């Protein structure tokens, strides 16, 4: 589950912890989240959420999604006409 938005202070913290508790892998693009004050947000990412989620950036998420979409497209076309 890719989690983005505001705020790291409450909403994203609870979303990530709830998602992990429910058995999901949480992914947090650090350039798509915010909190206040900025120093606190950075500390929450580094000292709390990094322990339970994968920290990354939006470019990496986009690259992974594009790679997966291309693989699915290729796979769908390779089976075309086969039963």
Q: Please, which residues bridge with residue 27 across strands?
A: 2, 54
pLDDT digit string, tens, across residues 6-21 = 999 999 999 999 999 9
Please indicate, yes or no, if residue 53 is contained in any of the structural domains. Answer: yes
Q: Is-above-0.85 flag for pTM?
A: no
C-alpha distance from residue 55 to each of 3, 4, 32, 62, 73 (Å): 10, 11, 11, 14, 28
Q: At a CB cut-off of 8 Å and minimum separation 6, what does 38 contact?
A: none
- Tens of pLDDT, residue by residue over 46-60, are 999 999 999 999 999
Full residue range of the structural domain in which residue 20 is found: 5-78
Spatial contact of 28 and 49, defined as CB atoms under 8 Å apart: yes
User: Is position 83 within any domain?
Assistant: no
- Total number of domains in the chain: 1
């Amino acid at each position: 589950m890719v989690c983005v938005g505001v705020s790291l202070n409450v909403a994203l913290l609870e979303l990530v912890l709830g998602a992990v508790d429910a058995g999901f892998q949480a992914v947090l693009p650090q350039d798509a989240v915010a909190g206040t004050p900025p120093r606190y947000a950075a500390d929450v990412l580094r000292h709390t959420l990094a322990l339970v989620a994968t920290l990354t950036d939006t470019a990496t998420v986009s690259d992974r999604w594009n790679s997966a979409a291309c693989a699915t497209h290729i796979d769908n076309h390779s089976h075309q006409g086969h039963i």
